[in-house]
Amino acid sequence: MRVTVASVDGEQMTAAPPAGSGTAESGHGTPRRRAVGILLGVALFSLVADVVTKQLALSELTGRGPVRLLGGAVYLTLTRNSGAAWSIGSGHTWVFPLITCGVIAWIGWMALRLRSLPWAVSLGLVLGGALGNLTDRIFRAPGHFVGHVVDMVSLFDPYGQVWPVFNLADSSLVCGVVLAVLLELTGRQRDGGRAGAEAAESVEPTSAEAAHGGEQRGRA
């Protein structure tokens, strides 16, 4: 809401709304509560989809050879990975839950200023993927926080010789990170604005300020 007051010489001036008014919360971009809701919704969907596909892989692929799909472009082959891609760090499985907890904390910090729908989707994908693999680390064999991640998708080779065997959580993580990089490159910020836009607005005077300045110069 704007308040118009009259000055002593008859001119009208527009005052900014008082601090704490309802318009201050709206800001620009998506409202924060809605953006955080979208983030959590995307994360929950990714997590549930990952858990379901892993259970299907365990029930349908256990004791079975690789399943060839799309003419050999995709193979379904059940593996258990104690490390990261290409089994990196397989001897230090306990490290990965700590890294995941750090990622979750970082997403929580990012959500404090979240008003962007694309950023909400990106962070939701990363969060859902991180939670999907963290669930395996905590609850699957051989033990708590050292569990092996269930993977089942291999590209162009049945045993991951071309690309590491992965799962839906890995796909969510990669898509979320790629989207975040694109958003950074295009200048989209978490609060719904664009990099450089606020600086340009602060340098360029508004039409009302320009008119008022012209009147002051005319009287001088």
pLDDT, one tens digit per residue, over 139-174 is: 999 998 889 999 999 999 999 999 999 999 999 999
170 is catalytic: yes
Max CA-CA distance within the chain? 91
Residue 165 is classified by DSSP as -
**Rounded distance between C-alpha atoms, residue 22 and residue 64, angstroms:** 61
pLDDT digit string, tens, across residues 1-38: 554 544 445 555 555 544 444 433 444 678 999 999 99
pTM of the model: 0.75
Of 50, 136, 170, 191, the active-site residue reads 170
Under the banding of pLDDT at 50, 70 and 90, the label for residue 57 is very high
pLDDT digit string, tens, across residues 176-220: 999 999 999 999 999 988 876 655 555 555 555 555 555 555 555
Instruction: Collapse the DSSP code of 12 into the 3-class scheme (helix H, G, I; strand E, B; otherwise coil) and give the result.
Output: strand
- Percent of the chain whose pLDDT exceeds 70: 73
Of 9, 50, 136, 151, the active-site residue reads 151
151 is catalytic: yes
pLDDT digit string, tens, across residues 81-91: 987 665 666 76
Tokens standing for residue 186: 């295009």
